[in-house]
Amino acid sequence: MNLVRLTAGKAVANTALRWVPPFLPVLEKAFGATTGQMTTILGIGEMSGLSTIAVGSRLDRGRERAVMSLALLAIAVSSLVSLVGTTFTFAIGFVLVVLGVANCTVAGHAYISHRVAYAERARSIGLYETSWALALLVGAPIIAVLISLFGWRGPYVVLALAATGMAAVIWRSAESSRPLPDPSDPIPTPGWRSITRRAWFVIGGSAMLAMAGLSVFAISGAWLDDAFGVSTGGLGAVAMGFGAIELLASTGSAGFADRFGKFRSTMTGIALVMVGQTVMAIADETLWIGVVGILIFLCGFEFAIVTSFSLVTEAMPGARGTTIAMSNGVGTVARGSGTIAGGLLFGAYGVEGTLALSAVAATLAATALVISRRGRV
């Protein structure tokens, strides 16, 4: 039951974050901003995820409930700030959204990794990360309706209320203490300076994978609007498709990664990412090819990134919370840099420029994970 509550809270947090890129054209018009300006804000905002580095030791001491509840409250505040309605307040609000989502994510992963054996962990993390897909599958159509009825401010009001409610639910119901460690576990390490070289390669691989995915997702709505003239309602429908594919990928990770192997599953997902990149590149002006390409891309990305989280949780078993928090911090820099660069490349060279960046990042992710697997460090 705790996993259900945590997943519901994470779904609200993810919706607050994920509705922005698909509906970016709506916000651009509301704030009088360009795609490049908005993606730069998104990229800079991603950097607030570095805050997770500071909570690693607290997660290792069983403070997951407090971290997650405070993260959801930060998301509620972010929505209220964004309601002011300027580009500046949108930027502040997005910083707070990322701060909340990042800390919500690491708290959930730490909670699971402290309580579920590695052999079964991909299942639990996969189920928890269905919240990422639900943010689009369920959240996107709700967002589209709210925008149609109340304008761009509608989603912010509803998300502020939902985040506050889930913060209260998790604070009151989630287990607050971590179980006693198994005597066979390694002795906990004191902090991030003790992270092993092998663990750094796992962290780097997951971060590059995040860059590959977020650089493309950030411009997805703008690309569909510019290249194919997709309307707001159409963007909502496509975003639902994104969510459905990602839900399939997350549940696939939950159902198969433990048996197929977490490393092989991650590498398979990266291969699908590259297939999706290729299809998007050849779409030209054909909408259905473009949509198929981005769906393949997102399916591979979601399957790979969710499974890679399990690799991260066991990269250094003696300090899982510290490793998870550091991984999110490094991933934050990768996501933010990828979002900014992806938006600028999109403005200068079209989707091909963004796809080139994504392909390089995916290749680096696969290389880092292979090196960590083969023990060359």
Write out pLDDT tens, residues 178-222: 444 544 444 455 455 578 888 999 999 999 999 999 899 888 877
CB 51 within 8 A of CB 103: yes
Greater pLDDT, 80 or 38: 80
Q: pLDDT at position 229, please?
A: 73
Band of residue 312 on the pLDDT scale cut at 50, 70, 90? very high
> The domain containing residue 298 runs over which residues?
2-374
Q: Which two tokens stand for residue 265?
A: 């599953």
pTM over 0.85: no
pLDDT one-digit tens code per residue, 232-283:
667 677 777 777 887 888 888 777 788 888 899 999 999 999 999 999 999 8
Phi/psi-derived region of residue 86, left when phi > 0, alpha when psi is between -120 and 50, beta in every other case: beta
Distances (CA, A) of 239 to 16, 85, 232, 310: 14, 24, 10, 26
Mean pLDDT of 295-313: 90
Q: Residue with structure tokens 């962290």?
A: 203
Which of these ranges, 11-20, 129-138, 295-304, has the smallest mean pLDDT?
129-138
Q: How many domains does the chain have?
A: 1
CB 238 within 8 A of CB 291: yes
Q: pLDDT at position 357, please?
A: 96
Residue 22 belongs to domain with CATH number: 1.20.1250.20
Q: Which two tokens stand for residue 282?
A: 């050849």
Q: pLDDT at position 184, please?
A: 44
Distances (CA, A) of 328 to 102, 183, 348: 7, 28, 29
Determine the distance from the C-alpha atom of residue 5 to the mean position of all C-alpha atoms in its chain, rounded to a whole number: 19
CB neighbour class for 177 (10 Å; exposed up to 12, middle 13-18, buried from 19): exposed
Which of these ranges, 38-52, 64-78, 267-281, 294-308, has the smallest mean pLDDT?
38-52
**Which of 41-45, 157-161, 250-254, 334-338 has maximum average pLDDT?**
157-161
